[in-house]
């Protein structure tokens, strides 16, 4: 699973919890939970996909950590947190039961959305300075300019931003640029053109960042031919 820079919330409807692996040769893995929050991250992780699974989830925008979980995003970053650590066990059980009883995918999404929306009024939303920096970064403005335009000191802004997003502004911008490269990575696209369009200094810079975030080179990513841009299949290591 490749990073997007965003947090996600997933409820797995079966009895199989999420199992993570430290590396390709890890045969045991680590069991997490059936309902969990995946924090924002700037690196890939390996998870088990050996059995079919039905799940309901959402990718969460910056600011959602406070609104939904009452926690800073950087406290949840780069790890998977069982939802029971953030909500009560009863709330999680009720949500899982309601999702399991739903008669269609549309009904499950309605239940999921209603549950999340009911929590939103309890906590303040996104800080305006963070919203302005996110807007500037989406417009590909340099990070230092975005921070200066916020009106806050560098240190204060980074604290606000990391608390809402889970990553520092610079790291978030790097991951989102990598995300942009994946979106452009159609089979006949030139990696050199993609790197130039996204402002990488040269091809070596692009390859270095791609490998840092994905664990594979751009050519290795293309050979893997992932069905979904951020879900890269890996062959199990030797027993």
* pLDDT tens, position by position, 153-183: 888 899 999 999 999 999 999 999 999 999 9
Model pTM score: 0.77
Nearest to 35 by CA among 85, 82, 99: 82
Check residue 122 and give its pLDDT: 52
At 126, the pLDDT band (50, 70, 90 cuts) reads: confident
**pLDDT at residue 239 above 50?**
no
Reading the block at residue 154, the tokens are 């560098």
Q: Domain coordinates of the chain in residue numbers?
A: 7-122, 128-224
Which alpha helices (H) appear in the chain, and where do they start and end?
A: 64, 73-76, 89-101, 105-119, 128-138, 143-149, 154-165, 169-184, 191-197, 203-214, 218-224
Check residue 168 and give its pLDDT: 95
Average pLDDT for the chain: 90
**pLDDT at residue 63 above 90?**
no
**pLDDT at residue 225 above 90?**
no
Q: How far apart are CA 6 and CA 230, in angstroms?
A: 12
The CATH number corresponding to 128-224 among 1.10.520.10, 3.40.50.300, 1.10.10.60, 3.30.360.10 equals 1.10.10.60
**pLDDT at residue 124 above 70?**
no
Q: How far apart are CA 172 and CA 40, in angstroms?
A: 9
């Amino acid at each position: 699973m490749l990073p997007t820079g965003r947090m996600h919330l997933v409820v797995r409807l079966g009895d199989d919890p999420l199992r993570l692996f430290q590396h390709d040769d890890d045969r045991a893995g680590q069991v997490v939970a059936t309902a969990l929050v995946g924090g924002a991250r700037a690196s890939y992780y390996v998870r088990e996909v050996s059995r079919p699974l039905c799940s309901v989830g959402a990718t969460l925008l910056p600011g959602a950590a406070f609104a939904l979980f009452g926690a800073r995003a950087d406290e949840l970053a780069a790890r998977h947190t069982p939802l029971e650590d953030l909500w009560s066990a009863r709330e999680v059980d009720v949500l899982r039961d309601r999702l399991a009883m739903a008669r269609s995918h549309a009904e499950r999404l309605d239940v999921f959305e209603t549950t999340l929306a009911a929590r939103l009024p309890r906590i303040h939303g996104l800080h305006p300075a963070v919203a302005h920096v996110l807007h500037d970064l989406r417009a590909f403005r340099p990070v230092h300019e975005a921070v200066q335009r916020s009106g806050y000191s560098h240190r204060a802004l980074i604290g606000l931003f990391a608390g809402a997003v889970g990553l520092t502004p610079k790291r978030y911008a790097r991951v989102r640029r990598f995300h942009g490269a994946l979106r452009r990575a159609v089979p006949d696209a030139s990696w050199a053109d993609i790197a130039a369009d996204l402002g990488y200094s040269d091809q070596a810079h692009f390859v270095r960042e791609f490998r840092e975030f994905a664990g594979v080179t751009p050519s290795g990513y293309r050979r893997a031919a992932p069905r979904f841009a951020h879900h890269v299949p890996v062959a199990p290591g030797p027993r």
